[in-house]
Structures are given as structure tokens and as C-alpha cells.
């Protein structure tokens, strides 16, 4: 049984986008409900990582997730919780590692992730099957060191799982509506109603020079 | 579970969380969230959340006696927090009317408006209010909240589509939820985004806007929104909670201000803002009002407005109509305050009304700033996430016609002084 799993990253950028609750429900398994930002509107969280330290070396990763209610227990309250329904990596080793350890649903081919860093702004371009899949632009605000707990849920044929993830590093978070996403017509985005996703994130998060600390995956009941 | 153990041992500071963290819980017991919320609130309250719900011991005039939520000490403060935009609620004529009514009717209506709860004073108030709004009829509701919830759910159905400004008041959103219609949000005050959202939508469509948006104090760009809505065959509802009795040549609201009063399909308003009372209304054709009376559940399953309150509102309505100088004074006060804030480098966002947000834009410091300002003699409310976006925290000011320029100048000096000390506005 492994202990804490550590992933170090240079950058992790994330945008929270409004999209229809009916779309959110279509990608969530039974037993999970999306958090609504407005009635009928849920949250698509798109995160792109530039990992520089892990058990499987350096790699890039893109995660599509729906924000869901956290599991409130007698421990520290998480900042929020998410259900990733599609994860893609730049290497086969990273993909196999994540499937084996975290039961995460994956895009089964390598993707290409290109980070373009400018002052106050980072753009991540992702290609899948040799064609553009998405471009995510996230801008910064004030930076501060943080240690935030998040919850990630997974579900497959073997059960329902929860991973407690501690995000540590420098963080910028804001709602200035300065970022952007472009989702291309690509099989990578087949589960998203592209025309219904707000192109501007209502919240932008940027973590840098930090790490993710994963507790061992825990099987849970009641979902 | 090493990381979890580590995190549970490290107690996070209260400012890492806010109300939004305690909205959703998992598990089978709805009480699961009470303990984590109580633990958080125990720290948050003395750190500044006590500034909410501080008790007033006097009428909401321009000076109020407020019981400090932290110390319990009662202090005399300049009131920049109450709506009461025309300073009407405590006028002698209003108090006398309410006094006479309680002698005549007793305390309450003691019944639903569709059964035994309608009194002659309700009918008289409805008639005079309809004349004021230049409409055939008016329907009264017990609160502004119930007016929006009741009206929207009375009119719209499952399969219909309701288009809401993203900054819509909770009562509008809740009305759409209760209607079980599809809800589509468009970008705040953005006709282009509304156009995009309306395009291709079939069936019954309702666009809902507000005359003045209560957190930013900006006025709806009504002519542009109307043009888009009409072109797409959508009906339009305007909630004039913060604009009735204030805007337009006769004070009817923002629709009158823009000269499009007749083009707006549905008009809602409240009595809790400019009249400083309580209640809401729908104004329109007699056919519309008859339908609303029959189908607005929030109204007919509630007790009617108290006849005492209604008598006071009737007196207030007559003052609002007969003393247009109150509006003139209010706009003069607003112009003065806007100019002085600009001179002092205080950011009030896009406000062009009597609601002025003093932008602090520091979520972790807005409570301390508000605390400091209150200690120096001003009563106003901090507004933080999730009521407004992250990093858009502010102090909300409600300007009244009853304020003197001298009082407002004192407020500017205090606010600008604290913001300068905190490095939030320029020296």
C-alpha cells in the first residue's frame, strides 16, 4: 500500500467555465450531482499541468472535471471537490500510472501540451490525435503561498473512490474574467457541448512551483 | 491517510473559507454541515462578520444608534446602509397614518389576500399606485421577493425559456426555478450576449432585467436590451426594486427614464427601498393582474400586507408624488458624492445611481476596512464573495435625499482617509 504520492509542478493553470447542468450530468456517473453556479448552469473545470517531478518523470496533463459537492467529514474541510471525467497525458507511463493508482478515466493516446508563458499570463495549447483540441489562457492576480485541500472522486466498475489532494505552492486566484478558452471540434471534446460553454472563465486559478500530495485512494460508500 | 491527517491537524485560517464552502455537504444527514460551519463562524464573527446583522435601536434616519456586534456598545453612527432613499419611512405623515391604521384595524391582515385579508386600505393603495405607475392595475405582494417568485412562476412553465442577467437578484432566479422553465443567463447588461443566447430559441421566452442592479449600482441598458428581446419575440420584465419612485420624470422608474415604459411588458417593484417600508407589486393591464392574482402562489398562500403598513405606504406614496424635490435632492446628493469620491481617488465602479459600491477589491481586508470605518462613525455594509465575485469586495453605500452635504462630506473624509491608510486609494 503506497503512502503519499507527490507530483511536483512548474505550473498548473485552471479555468472554471459555466456550462449547462444537463451537460454536466451527462458526464457524471449516477450518484454524483454537479454544483450549480446558477440554476441550470454548472462548472466545467479545465486544468492543464506542467509536471516536473513524479514517479514517472516529467509530463504534461490536461483534466476535464465537473465541480461536485465535497464529502464533509470530521477532518479539515476541503476547498472544493471535483469529478474528473477525462484525463490526458503526454506520456504513456504517466497514463498507466494514473489509471493503476487513481482509477482515472483517460484519453488513451498521448496528447501534446505546449505552455506559452508571458508576463501575467500563461497559455496552454493541447493537441490530440494531431489536431488542436483546446487553448486555455489564464491570467494572474496577487500571489500567495497556500496549502489547500481538494477532493477528487472517481468511479469505475470496481467501485467509487475518493482521493484527498493537498495542493501546495504559490497560488493566484481571481474572477477578473480576463482568461479564455477555445475548444476545437475534436474527438477529444466529444462529451462537451462546445457552443454552450462560456468562453471566459468566471474564475481563474494558477498554481506554480508547487506540488500535489495525494493520499492513498480510499473506497467510499454511499455514492 | 497521512495527508488527511496532516491537513486535519493544521487548522486553516477562517479567511480561506466563506459561506460558499458550507452550502453543499455529502452523506445522509442534512445536519452534517452544522458543526464545520459553526467552527468556522466562531472565528469569522469576531474577525468582522459581526458587522452583519448589527441591531439598530432607532429609526433608519441619517443618524442611527447601532449596537456594536462585537462589543455590545451602542454607538451613534451616520447611516449609509439603509435603503430609505427618499427618507420617507419616518416622516410624521407616514407614522401618523400607520398609527391611525393600527387604531382602526389592529395589527395584521389576518388572512390571505384572496380570502379575508384584503381591506379597503389595500384597494385604495392599489388604485393610487396604479395611477402613479400609469397602469390599469396593480397587485400587491407581501415582499419584493415574493413578487418576483410569484409573478415569474405564475407566468412561465416547463418548456419555456427565461433569460436572466447574470447579476439577477435571488428572487428572480428562484422564480425561474419555481417556474421549472429552462434558465439561460446572459452577461451582465450585455445585449450582444443576450442576442447570442436568444438566437434560435423557440417557444415562450421571457427576458428579466433590473432597473438598478443592487450590488454595483449600475442602470440597466434597457433600450438596447428591449430592442434585442423584441426582435426575438421575447417578453420583457423589469424589476424596479431600486428604481421605482426615483427615476423618470414622474419617478415611475428606469423604464420611464428611458421613455420605454409602454414597451416593457411587465413592471415589478418594491416598497422596502424608496418608501422604506415592506412589500412588492406587479403593475400592468387588468387582465395581467387578474391572472397574477389567480396564479401567483407566493401571494395567495401568504397573509396579506398588514393594513397598518399599507396605510403608511399609501402616505409614503403621496409624499413621493407630491414632493418631486426629494428626487432632486437625492440626485444632487449623488452627484456631490460621486464628484467628491472621484476627487479623493475612491473607486465606486460603474455606479450611476444612488447605490454606490466603494471598491476595496481585497477580500481578506474588506472586513477590517469596514470595521475601521464603523469605529470612526459610519454605518455601512461590507459585501464579499459569494455575493460579489472574488476580489470585487466592496462597501455598499445607499445615498438618501435626507443626507446633508455636510454629512456626506464627513463620510467622504472618513472613507477616503481609511482607504488611504490601508493603501487602497491614492493619496
Q: Cell triple for residue B194?
A: 443576450
Confidence of residue A74 (pLDDT cuts 50, 70, 90): low
CB contact under 8 A, A174 and B21: no
Reported pTM? 0.88
Residue B365 grid cell: 481586508
Asked whether B195 and B329 are in contact (CB, 8 A), the reply is: no
List residues bridging with A41 in a β-sheet: A20, A38
Please report the pLDDT score of residue B36 as a whole number: 84
Q: Which residues of A touch B148 (CB under 8 A)?
A: none
Tell me the mean pLDDT per 10 residues along chain B, length 427: 42 72 74 86 91 95 96 96 96 98 98 97 98 98 98 98 96 97 94 96 98 97 98 98 98 98 98 97 98 97 98 98 98 98 96 97 89 96 87 94 98 97 82
Maximal CA-CA distance, chain B: 72
Q: Does B202 touch chain A (CB under 8 A)?
A: no
Q: Does B7 touch chain A (CB under 8 A)?
A: yes
Residue A139 clears pLDDT 90, i.e. is over it: yes
ipTM comes to 0.75
Q: What is the total residue count of chain A? A: 223
Among B3, B11, B26, the residue with its CB nearest the CB of A213 is B3
* Region for residue B20 given its phi and psi (left: phi exceeds 0; alpha: psi -120 to 50; beta: otherwise): alpha
A112 in contact with B at a CB cutoff of 8 Å? Answer: no
- Across the strands, what pairs with B395? B358, B382
Q: Is the Cβ of A218 closer than 8 Å to some Cβ of chain B?
A: yes
Residue A127 has pLDDT above 60, yes or no: yes
Sheet holding A111-118, edge to edge: A111-118, A121-128, A131-139, A180-183
Mode of pairing for the β-strands spanning A203-214 and A159-174: antiparallel
Question: Which pLDDT score, from 0 to 100, does residue B13 have?
Answer: 67
A35 touches chain B (CB under 8 A): yes
Evaluated on CA atoms A47, A52, A54, A60, the torsion sign reads positive
Shortest Cα distance from A132 to chain B (angstroms)?
25
pLDDT of residue B6: 43
Q: Do A41 and B36 touch (CB under 8 A)?
A: no
C-alpha cell at B230: 423584441
Overall average pLDDT of the A34-44 stretch: 89
| DSSP output for B248-281 | STTS--HHHHTT-TTT-SEEEEESSSSSSS--EE
Q: What is the mean pLDDT of residues A208-215?
A: 96
Strands B266-270 and B235-239: parallel
Number of residues in chain B:
427
Give Rg (Cα) of chain A.
Answer: 16
Kindly state whether B3 is in contact with chain A, defined as any CB-CB distance less than 8 angstroms. yes
Flag if B3 and A70 touch (Cβ within 8 Å).
Answer: no
User: Is residue A161 within 8 Å of A219, Cβ to Cβ?
Assistant: yes
Q: Chain A: give the shortest CA distance to residue B176, in Å.
A: 8
DSSP reduced 3-state for A16:
strand
List Cβ neighbours of B99 (8 Å cut-off, separation of 6 or more).
none
Angle made by CA atoms B316, B320, B323, in degrees to the nearest 5? 125
% pLDDT > 70, chain A: 97
How many whole angstroms separate alpha carbon A45 and alpha carbon A42? 10
What share of chain A in percent tops pLDDT 90?
82
Nearest in space to B216 (alpha carbons), one of B95, B343, B349: B349
- Residue B4 has a pLDDT of 41
DSSP letter for B54, please: P
Amino acid at each position: 500500500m503506497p503512502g503519499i504520492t507527490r507530483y511536483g509542478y512548474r505550473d498548473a493553470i485552471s479555468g472554471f467555465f459555466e456550462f449547462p447542468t444537463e451537460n454536466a450530468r451527462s458526464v457524471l456517473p449516477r450518484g454524483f450531482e454537479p454544483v450549480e453556479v446558477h440554476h441550470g448552469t454548472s462548472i466545467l473545470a479545465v486544468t492543464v499541468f506542467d509536471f516536473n517531478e513524479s514517479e514517472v518523470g516529467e509530463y504534461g496533463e490536461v483534466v476535464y472535471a465537473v465541480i461536485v459537492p465535497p464529502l464533509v467529514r470530521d477532518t479539515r474541510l476541503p476547498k472544493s471537490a471535483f469529478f474528473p471525467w477525462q484525463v490526458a497525458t503526454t506520456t504513456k507511463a504517466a497514463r498507466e500510472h494514473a489509471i493503476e493508482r487513481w482509477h482515472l478515466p483517460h484519453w488513451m493516446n498521448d496528447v501534446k501540451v505546449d505552455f506559452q508563458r508571458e508576463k501575467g499570463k500563461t497559455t496552454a495549447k493541447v493537441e490530440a490525435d494531431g489536431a488542436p483540441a483546446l487553448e486555455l489562457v489564464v491570467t494572474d492576480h496577487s500571489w500567495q503561498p497556500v496549502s489547500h485541500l481538494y477532493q477528487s472522486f472517481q468511479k469505475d466498475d470496481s467501485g467509487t473512490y475518493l482521493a484527498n489532494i493537498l495542493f501546495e505552492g504559490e497560488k493566484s486566484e481571481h474572477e477578473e474574467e480576463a482568461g479564455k478558452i477555445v475548444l476545437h471540434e475534436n474527438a477529444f471534446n466529444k462529451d462537451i457541448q462546445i457552443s454552450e460553454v462560456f468562453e471566459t472563465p468566471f474564475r481563474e486559478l494558477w498554481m506554480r512551483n508547487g506540488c500535489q500530495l495525494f493520499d492513498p485512494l480510499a473506497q467510499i460508500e454511499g455514492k | 491517510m497521512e495527508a488527511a491527517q496532516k491537513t486535519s491537524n493544521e487548522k486553516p485560517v477562517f479567511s480561506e473559507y466563506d459561506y460558499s464552502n458550507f452550502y453543499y455537504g455529502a452523506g445522509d444527514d442534512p445536519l452534517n454541515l452544522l458543526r464545520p460551519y459553526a467552527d468556522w463562524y466562531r472565528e469569522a464573527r469576531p474577525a468582522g462578520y459581526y458587522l452583519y446583522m448589527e441591531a439598530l435601536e432607532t429609526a433608519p434616519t441619517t443618524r442611527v444608534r447601532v449596537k456594536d456586534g462585537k462589543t455590545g456598545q451602542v454607538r451613534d453612527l451616520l447611516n449609509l446602509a439603509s435603503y430609505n432613499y427618499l427618507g420617507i419611512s419616518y416622516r410624521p405623515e407616514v407614522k401618523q397614518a400607520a398609527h391611525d391604521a393600527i387604531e382602526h384595524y389592529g395589527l395584521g391582515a389576518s388572512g390571505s389576500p384572496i380570502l379575508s385579508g384584503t381591506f379597503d386600505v389595500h384597494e385604495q393603495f392599489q388604485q393610487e399606485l396604479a395611477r402613479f405607475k400609469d397602469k390599469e392595475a396593480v397587485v400587491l405582494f407581501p415582499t419584493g421577493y415574493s413578487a418576483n417568485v410569484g409573478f415569474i412562476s405564475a407566468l412561465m412553465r416547463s418548456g419555456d425559456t427565461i433569460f436572466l442577467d447574470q447579476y439577477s437578484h435571488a428572487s428572480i432566479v428562484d422564480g425561474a426555478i419555481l417556474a421549472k422553465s429552462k434558465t439561460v443567463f446572459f452577461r451582465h447588461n450585455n445585449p450582444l450576449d443576450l442576442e447570442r443566447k436568444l438566437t434560435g430559441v423557440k417557444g415562450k421566452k421571457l427576458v428579466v432585467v433590473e432597473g438598478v442592479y443592487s450590488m454595483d449600482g449600475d442602470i440597466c441598458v434597457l433600450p438596447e436590451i428591449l430592442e434585442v428581446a423584441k426582435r426575438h419575440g421575447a417578453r420583457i420584465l423589469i424589476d424596479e426594486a431600486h428604481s421605482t419612485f426615483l427615476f423618470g420624470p414622474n419617478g415611475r422608474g428606469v423604464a420611464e427614464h428611458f421613455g420605454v415604459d409602454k414597451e416593457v411588458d411587465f413592471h415589478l417593484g418594491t416598497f422596502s427601498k424608496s418608501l422604506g417600508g415592506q412589500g412588492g407589486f406587479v403593475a400592468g393591464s387588468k387582465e395581467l393582474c387578474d391572472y397574477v392574482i389567480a396564479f401567483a402562489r407566493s401571494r395567495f398562500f401568504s397573509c396579506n400586507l398588514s393594513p397598518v403598513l399599507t396605510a403608511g405606504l399609501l402616505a409614503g406614496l403621496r409624499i413621493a408624488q407630491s414632493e418631486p424635490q426629494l428626487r432632486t435632492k437625492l440626485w444632487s446628493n449623488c452627484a456631490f458624492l460621486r464628484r467628491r469620491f472621484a476627487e479623493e481617488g475612491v473607486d465606486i465602479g460603474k455606479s450611476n445611481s444612488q447605490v454606490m459600491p466603494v471598491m476595496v477589491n481585497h477580500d481578506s481586508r474588506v472586513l477590517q476596512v469596514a470595521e475601521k470605518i464603523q469605529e470612526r462613525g459610519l454605518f455601512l455594509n461590507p459585501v464579499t464573495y459569494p455575493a460579489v465575485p472574488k476580489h470585487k469586495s466592496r462597501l455598499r453605500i445607499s445615498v438618501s435625499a435626507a443626507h446633508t452635504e455636510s454629512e456626506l462630506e464627513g463620510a467622504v473624509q472618513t472613507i477616503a482617509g481609511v482607504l488611504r491608510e490601508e493603501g487602497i486609494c491614492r493619496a
